[in-house]
Amino acid sequence: MRLSLDKVELEIARLWEEEARRSRATRVELMTLVALVSESHLLDRARDVVQRVARAYPLRTVLASWTDSDRPAITAEVALHRPSPEGAACGDAISVEATGSAREWLPENAERLALPDLPMCVWWVGDLPDYDRLFDRMARAADLVVVNSEEMDLRDLEKLSTVSARVRHTCAFSDLAWIRLRTMQELVARFFDDAAGRECVRSLERVTIEFSPRGGEKDVASTQAGLLFGWMANALSMRAEGVQWKRGPTWGEATLGKVVARFVHHPRTDVPPGSILRVSIECDGARFDIERQDDPRVLRWSRETPGAPVSPQTIGVDIAEEAGLLVRCLERPRRDFLFENSLHLGSRIVRPIAPRLSSLPRPL
C-alpha cells in the first residue's frame, strides 16, 4: 500500500507494535541507508542488496527511485526487514518513489525519513553521471556517500577523484571497489612486514597487475587496477608527473621514474568484473607474487627474497557480494584519507590512457 510521506513514521510504529506482540524483537537501528537507484533496471538488485545489508547491520533503509511523469509526487511503501520470512524484524524498509520533477524533492524528504541523531549513508546505485544536482544535494545531507566504481570506466576515476575532493568538507566518501581491494592490499603489505621485505621496498622496479575486464571493456586497466596501483604509488610517495604510457591491445605499461607498472587483461567469468587476478612485484633480485588460483576464492602468496625464505601460502578469500562490501563501508562511516589519496594519485596516473572529462563539474 502506497502512503504519503507524513504517514510513514506512524505506519512504522504500528508495524513495530505488531512485531513486539509477535516476536518480542528488540528494535535496534544504527543508521539510515538511503539507496538512490539511478536507473530503473537496477531497482530489484538494489532492493536485494539493502535487504541483505539489513540482515547483517540493523538499520533503516530508504530505497529511492524515480520515474518520468507530468505529475510531481513522492509516495512510500513501508515494511520491516526480516532475516527470513519467519524471523524477527531487524530494521525498517521504506521504498520511496518520486515521479516527475519530485525527484528534486528527494534530498529533503530523505532527511525527513532519516533516523534522528544517527548517521545517514547515501549509496548511489549505478553509474555516476558527470554531474548530478541530486547527488550533490544528497552529499550535503549525508555522513557517508558510497559509489561502486566496478560499474564505471577507467575515465571515471578522475570523475570520482573530483567528486571526492568536492564532497570532502561535507561527508565521507567511499567506493565498494576500494573496499574489495582491502584483501589484496593486506596481502601486498605483508610482503614488506619484516626487515628483509622492507629492504626491497625502495628498490621496487616493476609491478604487474593482471585483471579481469568488464564485458566489452577496452581500457587497458580497470578502475580496481588503477586504484590498487594508485594505493601502491601513494604508499611509496611516487608522483604522477611525467608518467609515460605504452599500450597494446590487452595491456598497458606506465613508467614513473624507475618504476614500470604493467596492466594486463585476462578475462575470467568467475570473478566480479574488474577483479585483480595477479599482482607481481619485482625489486632488485626479489620477487613477490599474489596469484588467483583456478578456484577464484584461493590466492597463492609467495615471496622470494635472497637469504630470507618464507614458505608460500594459499589463502582463502571471500568474493564479497555488493551487500557484504556495503556492510563493511557502513561499519566505518568516516573519511578514508588513504582512499582519497590513492584515488587522486591513481586517477592522475591513468589519465593519459583514459578519455578526459568533457567539462568540469560545477562546485558543490
Q: Which residues bind other proteins (CB under 8 A)?
A: 26, 28, 30, 55-58, 90, 182-183, 185-194, 196-198, 201, 232, 235-237, 295, 297-298, 301, 303, 308-311, 313-317, 336-338
Taking the CA of residue 361 as centre, how many other CA atoms within 13 Å lie in the half-sphere pointing to its CB? 21
CB of 314 to other proteins, least distance (A): 5
CB of 312 to other proteins, least distance (A): 8
CB of 330 to other proteins, least distance (A): 12
- With respect to other proteins, which residue has the nearer C-beta, 13 or 338? 338
- With respect to other proteins, which residue has the nearer C-beta, 43 or 56? 56
Strand 120-125 and strand 144-147: pairing?
Answer: parallel
Say whether 343 sits in a helix, a strand or coil.
Answer: helix
CB of 182 to other proteins, least distance (A): 7
Q: CA quadruple 266, 164, 104, 73: dihedral positive or negative?
A: positive
Say if CB 187 and CB 299 are below 8 A apart. Answer: yes
Taking the CA of residue 157 as centre, how many other CA atoms within 13 Å lie in the half-sphere pointing to its CB? 32
CB of 264 to other proteins, least distance (A): 22
CB of 142 to other proteins, least distance (A): 21
- With respect to other proteins, which residue has the nearer C-beta, 13 or 201? 201
Strand 172-175 and strand 251-256: pairing?
Answer: unpaired
CB of 249 to other proteins, least distance (A): 31
- With respect to other proteins, which residue has the nearer C-beta, 79 or 315? 315
Q: Report CA dihedral (158, 163, 169, 172) to the nearest 10 degrees.
A: -100
CB of 2 to other proteins, least distance (A): 30
Angle between helices 337-350 and 223-235 (to 10 degrees): 110
Q: Cβ neighbours of residue 266 under 8 Å, at least 6 residues apart?
A: 210, 211, 212, 277, 278
- With respect to other proteins, which residue has the nearer C-beta, 106 or 240? 240
Q: Is 161 exposed, middle or buried (0-12, 13-18, 19+ CB in 10 A)?
A: buried
Say if CB 4 and CB 75 are below 8 A apart. Answer: yes
CB of 344 to other proteins, least distance (A): 14
- With respect to other proteins, which residue has the nearer C-beta, 250 or 314? 314
- With respect to other proteins, which residue has the nearer C-beta, 24 or 362? 24
- With respect to other proteins, which residue has the nearer C-beta, 108 or 298? 298
Q: CA quadruple 225, 227, 273, 351: dihedral positive or negative?
A: negative
Cell of 289: 607474487
Amino acid type, 237? S
- With respect to other proteins, which residue has the nearer C-beta, 73 or 196? 196
User: What is the number of other CB atoms lying within 10 angstroms of the CB of residue 356?
Assistant: 9
d(CA 16, CA 305): 60
